[in-house]
Structure 1
Amino acid sequence: MNLSMLFDISVHRHASKPALIGSKKSYTYKELEEEVNRMASSLQKLGIKKQDRLMVILKNNIENVIIFWACQKLGIIYTPVNFRLSIDDFYFCVKDIEPKVVVYEPFSEHLVKKEVFAERPILIGVNGAKADISYEELIDQGTSSYSRPDISYEDIAMILYTSGTTGVPKGVPRTHINEYTSSLAHIIQCRYKTFDRTLLAVPMYHVIGIRSLLAVSLLSGSAVLMTEFDPKDSLQAIEEEKVTCLFLTPTYYHDMVYHPDASQHDLSNLHTIAYSGSPMSDELVRKCDEIFSPQRFVNHYGSTEIYTFTYCEDIRLKGSGGKPGIHQNIRLISPNSRPDSMSEAEMKEGEVGQIVINMNSVEAFKGYWNRPDATRDAISSDWYYTGDLGYFNKEGNLVVVGRADDMIISGGENIYPFHIENVLKEHPGIREVIVVGEADKRWGQIVAAFIVPEDPSLKVQDLDQFCKKHPQLSNVNRPRKYTFVSEIPKSKTGKILRRKLREGFYEQI
């Protein structure tokens, strides 16, 4: 199975069903196929061949989806790039991928500079962007027929770049079988249904955006396009288009459920909401349950490299990372060892260890694009080193406690920030809290808590007394420093950027 076959089957199964729903135009599967074929034939006439890279700098618009499927028809490697990257990181991606084609809009036109490319690609403009040729011209000049190449399920379908929050971005090649099986697993783990409708709100340069599109396409369902995420518009689209399932980051959910109009929308068609990318606070879980009232509330724990590690069928009941995904085998090893030391005893129930994932999964990538050094660091003896720490609870569910890099070592003691954060979140005067290790001459590191206060009258002394009296917090885990900040630094997809706190990039209040 390759993604082109997946698309063809969905078209032939239910040609008249809605496939894409945009703000200005919508497509049935048959109409979508016609435009995809016209784009594929035009790309082929331009000399773009199987496994050439096509770079996309687009938002979640209809053109982006059509180009994605045209790439799958021709075996072209679809390479979406985060347009919010720094200039240096963006140009790194350009040089790394060496695209034969670059597709962009007016908002991203300034990024496309001739001197950046080792070999000048063909430039395609969307929505009026100045380029060699426009998207509209390619559609007009295209035909319904093209020469279909032989596409193996082991061919690369796309390359997704990681966020690069701890270094330069890394390209993650994803094969057709990777994406097909990951989408199938997502459907099973979320219990999606035929003809489901989802909100395609997370950008398609992110694994969540791609997964949302492919999952509903497998089910002859509909993707409701959100060119730019807006909480009010999203709530309205969920109501008007009768959206049945959501897969978003916690930040997206937060912005919707705390919108003042959230409770005024009819969201009763939703049967499943799922999230990934970062943890969700207990308060946000409660608020999502109140506003969306889903039958299923699924937590996915995974990565771009290997889609799902574990999943929890209902975070309201279990509150953990859950069980391994249907294609996965995971282990916990000593926090201070590497995955190639698999002869070491595995962690017992309740013991924190580093999480490693078996690379024989059909969802697993084979290694980073042009980065043998990064591949060696991440993969050893058929195990993928996640860099995360966790433990198995009494029910055998994985509980993720944070990044290995975030572990604090103070006076020789291993301290896990999540435990302290969970205690501090119980204080009514705190809106958000993140704990990091701060260098200290005597202890090596001390526990430092960064607080976004809910109550402006909150004082350091109040928090110190709260922690001293809390039965679940030992003295060694107690914060030795508190800093009140206006906000916790996060990436666009909601990941906490602890590094920025350590480096002083915050606004103290």
Structure 2
Amino acid sequence: MLDLGRSFLASVSRDPKALALTDGATRLDYQSWFRQISAVTAALGAMGLKRGDRLASVMQNTAEAATLHWACQFAGIMLVPLNWRATAEELDFVLENAEAAALAHDGAAAEAVAASPRACALPRLAARAAPQPGVIGFAEAAGASAPDALPMASPEDWSLMLYTSGTTSKPKGVPRRHSAERAAALAHVAQNLMPRGEATLGVMPLYHTMGVRSLLSISLVNGAFHCLPRFDVATALRLIAAERISALYLVPTLYHDLLAHPDFPATDISSVRRLGFAGASMTDGLMARIEAAFRPDLFVNHYGSSEVYTFTIHPAAPSKPGSAGKAGLNQQIRVVRMGSGDPEAVVPAGTEGEIIATLSGDEAFEGYWRRPEADAKSLREGWYFTGDMGFFDTEGDLFVTGRVDDMMITGGENVAPVEVESCLSVHEGVAECAVVGLPDERWGQIVTAFVVPRGAVTAEALDAHCRASALAPFKRPRRYVLVAALPKSPVGKLLRRNLLAGDYTPLPGTTD
């Protein structure tokens, strides 16, 4: 199997003048992009980075971020991309946990980087940020003269490490090899029927498995990756029309926003023939509206994770709303008895259980980064226990019904309730609180805080408290409900499912 660096070289050789990357006024074909990638690869070496080192990045979806991703693949450096909205505290944790040897960032993350002691102590590469002593400018690095980069990695070397949230506030590192990343990209090409020269909107973040998959797969078919650094509906619609975007791969929230924008009816979307969504469930109503608006040739529901990119695929999602389809090309799926921890405890069709995926598949990871307790919970006898609940119907199609734990997914981002509850609990006006994700057509789930007040407290005061805390903005509750008591079991365990089911009574005068 080829490593990713040699895969990119194959694309350069195949069609060097094909449009590869755009970002505002930047337009690069494969040959020109390779020159920049080579220059950045050389710059990483000059910074002292060597094969096997970890390089953390905190960047938006820019040409620089895409170039850095490929440079790391050539250099054999393990890229650790982080959410550009991460707080300084979150940045400190990951830099220590990953033992990062250097950091790349752009202006969007400048404030968090400046407040992070660990970040400030590392060699840094900065893009679109004010010049700083001792910090290498990305533009200068990419524009320097350098020999063509030679691939330094093997298929079994580490490619990148994504960080994914768990049921606690501490994220888990998911290391992935070149072989797994390439297999996942090839499967994405096949499962989405991607033709040579595909054009896609590069909007899903490059710290997220969906964004990485879009970048890698589009390069395999000599397609064009049109960067959208921060999602803006008007700009996205303009790019779709101007660049003749042929494929969209988005979380449901972004589809909702596209359709709801006043510019949508007048936008030429006729070039878009392939649609895909992942990261969260999509409501039947939204799916029907998308289908009617785009009339795509392919509308794929992609169910997967950072750990094992593809679990299942449904290539005609509107034909069976709610179904995640059947196992992907590199996967085998089972539904086993809840709580059994036994991959052989398969339940019959129609019975809800825990969804598990084989670790023998080419796309699978091998275990979390230095988290043996997480491995013990999720990896058993060659199977990955996803933490998701679901069932197979009589036709063999999978339906995902929820999480075994209570992780929320809002706009494609994972949010752990415990972290939000911890933040709220220190407010003097909060006696008790519980945070759940209630269904929302736009966001998939909306972070909702149920609060037992201590004295007089308002939603506005609680929101101000969260804004002033270290809680990342996307984790803040968007709705507050004041209640007299939280539902609990006889032994005092919080019953989140009751809140999800609407089994609560707001206090008089509370706006619910």
Distance 1:433 1:55 in 2: 29
1:13, CA displacement in angstroms? 0.4
Give the match for residue 157 of structure 1. Answer: 159
Partner amino acid for 1:251?
Answer: T
Count of residues in correspondence between the two structures: 437
> Could you give the per-residue CA deviations for residues 231-259 of structure 1, whole angstroms, max 9, x where no partner exists?
12111111110000011111111111111
1:82, CA displacement in angstroms? 0.7
Are positions 1:324 and 2:327 aligned together?
A: yes
Distance 2:492 2:370 in 1: 40
1:300, CA displacement in angstroms? 0.6
SS at match of 2:125: strand
Distance 2:379 2:344 in 1: 16
Matched-pair identity in %? 32
Are positions 1:306 and 2:313 aligned together?
A: no
Trace 1:498-509 onto structure 2 (pairs within 5 A).
Answer: 508-509=511-512
Distance 2:307 2:184 in 1: 11
Give the match for residue 172 of structure 2. Answer: 170
SS at match of 2:12: helix
Judge conservation of contact 2:39–2:146 (CA < 8 Å) in 1.
yes
Residues 330 and 137 (structure 1 numbering): CA distance in 2 closer, same or farther, change over 3 Å? same
1:449, CA displacement in angstroms? 5.2
Distance 2:214 2:143 in 1: 29
Judge conservation of contact 2:333–2:356 (CA < 8 Å) in 1.
yes
SS at match of 2:324: coil
Unaligned runs of 5+ in 2: 408-437, 451-485
1:103, CA displacement in angstroms? 1.1
Partner amino acid for 1:279?
Answer: S
Judge conservation of contact 1:21–1:224 (CA < 8 Å) in 2.
yes
Distance 1:398 1:115 in 2: 43
Are positions 1:439 and 2:488 aligned together?
A: yes
Give the match for residue 500 of structure 1. Answer: none
Q: Which has the higher contact order (CA 8 A, sep 6+)?
A: 2
1:122, CA displacement in angstroms? 1.1
Judge conservation of contact 1:75–1:149 (CA < 8 Å) in 2.
yes
Residues 447 and 222 (structure 1 numbering): CA distance in 2 closer, same or farther, change over 3 Å? closer
**Which stretch shows the higher mean deviation, 84-93 or 437-446?**
437-446
* TM-score normalised by L of structure 2: 0.80
Partner amino acid for 2:202?
Answer: L
Give the match for residue 375 of structure 2. Answer: 375
1:287, CA displacement in angstroms? 1.4
1:124, CA displacement in angstroms? 1.3
Distance 2:399 2:139 in 1: 49
Judge conservation of contact 2:51–2:75 (CA < 8 Å) in 1.
yes
Residues 98 and 114 (structure 1 numbering): CA distance in 2 closer, same or farther, change over 3 Å? farther
* TM-score normalised by L of structure 1: 0.80
1:115, CA displacement in angstroms? 6.8
Residues 158 and 433 (structure 1 numbering): CA distance in 2 closer, same or farther, change over 3 Å? closer
Give the match for residue 53 of structure 1. Answer: 54
Give the match for residue 15 of structure 2. Answer: 14
Structure 1 stretches of 4+ with a deviation exceeding 4 A read 431-437, 440-447
1:135, CA displacement in angstroms? 1.2
Give the match for residue 334 of structure 1. Answer: 337
Unaligned runs of 5+ in 1: 408-420, 426-430, 451-477, 485-506
Partner amino acid for 1:42?
Answer: A
**Which stretch shows the higher mean deviation, 259-268 or 106-115?**
106-115
SS at match of 1:48: coil
SS at match of 1:202: coil
Residues 221 and 117 (structure 1 numbering): CA distance in 2 closer, same or farther, change over 3 Å? same
Give the match for residue 37 of structure 2. Answer: 36
Residues 224 and 483 (structure 1 numbering): CA distance in 2 closer, same or farther, change over 3 Å? farther
Give the match for residue 456 of structure 2. Answer: none
Are positions 1:139 and 2:142 aligned together?
A: yes
Give the match for residue 493 of structure 1. Answer: none
Trace 1:154-233 onto structure 2 (pairs within 5 A).
Answer: 154-163=156-165, 166-233=168-235
Are positions 1:77 and 2:97 aligned together?
A: no
Distance 2:92 2:301 in 1: 34
Partner amino acid for 1:311?
Answer: I
Counterpart among 289, 293, 296 of residue 294 in structure 1: 296
> Could you give the per-residue CA deviations for residues 57-78 of structure 1, whole angstroms, max 9, x where no partner exists?
1111111111111111111111
Trace 1:93-132 onto structure 2 (pairs within 5 A).
Answer: 93-113=94-114, 116-117=117-118, 120-131=121-132, 132=135
> Could you give the per-residue CA deviations for residues 134-181 of structure 1, whole angstroms, max 9, x where no partner exists?
1122234441245x3642211110111114564211111111111111
Partner amino acid for 2:379?
Answer: I
Residues 134 and 371 (structure 1 numbering): CA distance in 2 closer, same or farther, change over 3 Å? same
Judge conservation of contact 2:88–2:113 (CA < 8 Å) in 1.
no
Partner amino acid for 2:488?
Answer: A
Distance 1:203 1:103 in 2: 15
Judge conservation of contact 1:60–1:200 (CA < 8 Å) in 2.
yes
Distance 1:193 1:149 in 2: 26
